[in-house]
Amino acid sequence: MKKIAKLGVLVMVAAMVLSLAACSGGTTTSSDTKKYVIATDTTFKPFEYENEKGERVGIDIDLLAAIAEDQGFEYELKAVGFDAALGEVSTGQSDGMIAGMSITDERKKTFDFSDPYFDSGVVMAVSATNDTIKTYADLKGQKVAVKTGTEGSTFADSIKDQYGFTTVSFPDSANMYEDVKAGNSAALFEDYPVVGDAIASGVPLKMVTEMEKGSSYGFAVKLGQNPELIEMFNTGLANLKANGKYQEILDTYIKK
């Protein structure tokens, strides 16, 4: 009788295990869900920066969060700086990158890009007290500050021989601004929404040229890697544009 009773208990336990297995079939547990590592810049306001509460915010940050929610994937954000982010993705330390990164033919040799999520442009800015630098021609013999890897840097390189100036590169916008404010460089080239936000926030600079059309920004992964991440980003981006969330994010950070 004891053997029969024990056998009955075993049968019941087995049935419970099978029942639980059946209920969990076809789903992925949280421990099995891939958590993507996404690299970003440290400061490229209004696309990524820390607010007064120490929270990382910005167009890129909010857009990524909204797309992840829309598509149901998890991620860890690593704010390592623009150059470091390029290296992180290139070496496989990070799965993707969102950092106001311009889509260029040269970068397509190393990265796969999403659909464009922002169309940028470049302007020249000088110290608010500088009344001598007003055009590119005024830059002859001068030093011009640029941020490494940006559209502004690319544009400056494309015209520096024509207008006779040299460039000085900086790893972030803050140090670039300080160099111009201190008078070490006569001017800087920067993405329009970035320098516009800086000026609105009280940085003593002023824009002295019309915006030059630049490249579009895209989310990037290592060439041939994580194609599903690009697909989810594109689908999520399209959904956010359709439901108005995309424009809501832009309006939060770019004041008209």
Taking the model in full, what pTM does it have?
Answer: 0.69
CB neighbour list of residue 186: distance below 8 Å, 6 or more residues apart: 126, 130, 133, 138, 139, 142, 143, 144, 165, 180
HEC readout, 12-35 = HHHHHHHHHHHHHCCCCCCCCCCE
How far is Cα 8 from Cα 102, in angstroms, rounded to an integer?
67
CB neighbour list of residue 160: distance below 8 Å, 6 or more residues apart: 144, 166, 167
Query: Which neighbouring-strand residues pair with 187?
Result: 144
The string of pLDDT tens digits covering residues 148-205 is 888 899 899 999 999 999 999 998 889 999 999 999 999 999 988 889 888 888 999 9
In this predicted structure, the answer to whether residue 112 has a pLDDT above a threshold of 80 is yes
Looking at residue 13, its pLDDT comes to: 39
How far is Cα 205 from Cα 194, in angstroms, rounded to an integer?
12
Looking at residue 3, its pLDDT comes to: 35
- Nearest in space to 126 (alpha carbons), one of 181, 175, 45: 181
pLDDT band for position 256 (cuts 50, 70, 90): low
How far is Cα 125 from Cα 111, in angstroms, rounded to an integer?
31
Looking at residue 191, its pLDDT comes to: 87
The answer to whether residues 220 and 82 touch, using CB atoms and an 8 Å cutoff, is no
Q: Which domains does the chain have, with CATH numbers?
A: 35-117+218-253 (3.40.190.10), 120-215 (3.40.190.10)
How far is Cα 198 from Cα 173, in angstroms, rounded to an integer?
9
